[in-house]
Chain A
């Protein structure tokens, strides 16, 4: 059973559209992360969330990105205006050791 559950498993969107990726933790933890992996490339850190606040973000995580925990349990990663280069697998993970969810494959066309 995954540590976190992500939806959708695959999202296809047109360039310039907004997308929202969701992550549901199985149990309560303090640390959550979003990572992404462009096809054939390294897993890259995007943002960390500690105790319901952003604790750290990478240079990738620019103004186009936002993360929320709207109801105290689910996490969302929003990309406001998608670009072709946003196409990647997006992973939610809990804890510093990064127990990953199954990922959302985002395809921007």
Chain B
């Protein structure tokens, strides 16, 4: 069974940093690209970042470019999202999601990040 389990979400002050983790199981992790997608309260889904299967290619949404960094450790079946200079508008549930061609075929349950003083 494919599983993606996010962790690391918490309450953080504006300007602070947080590192999210996503541990995968049930599939050949090193063969799949991974996305981070978020959903702010009352808003739609927003794609945040992408990392290729081998970790050589990364993309970021404009709203997080320069502040967030995606990485992965295929030996640990894990993907990470380092979030710096956090803003109130980064408050959201963050989902780790497996890419299959042009779709996201499996999602984690999400981890909540709240940016507030």
Q: Are A and B subunits of one complex?
A: no
- B residues engaging A (CB < 8 A)? none
